Amino acid sequence: MQLKSLRKEAGYTQGELALRVGISRETVSAIENEKPETMNSIGVEVISKWWAVCRQKASEQTRESFFSTVMDYFGFNHT
């Protein structure tokens, strides 16, 4: 996913984002590294919070890429 790019572009460390989203820094790292067990256990709520925290500071290209990737990941048709 594009979550790491979104976080970095927004200017947050893993720890800062973890505090804002309400998860551990280790979970942020596991999500960014697409650990299968973590990816299978996170829900739309975590992704939604991540998006809410970072979207204002991200470029339009990053926002579009993130949206497309998330829609594909969760199996939604976005065309």
The structural domains of the chain, with segments of one domain joined by +, span 3-73
**Dist CA 59 CA 27 (whole Å):** 24
Task: Please write the tens of the pLDDT for every residue from 5-57.
Answer: 899 999 999 999 999 999 999 999 999 988 878 877 888 889 889 999 999 99
CA distance 38 to 9: 23
Residue whose pair of structure tokens reads 């790292």 in the numeric block: 29
- Does the domain formed by 3-73 have CATH 1.10.260.40? yes
In this predicted structure, the answer to whether residue 79 has a pLDDT above a threshold of 60 is no
Tell me how crowded residue 41 is: count the other CB atoms within 10 A of its CB.
12
Q: What is the rounded CA–CA span in Å between residue 9 and residue 74?
A: 23
Q: How confident is the model at residue 76 (pLDDT cuts 50, 70, 90)?
A: confident
pLDDT at 8: 95
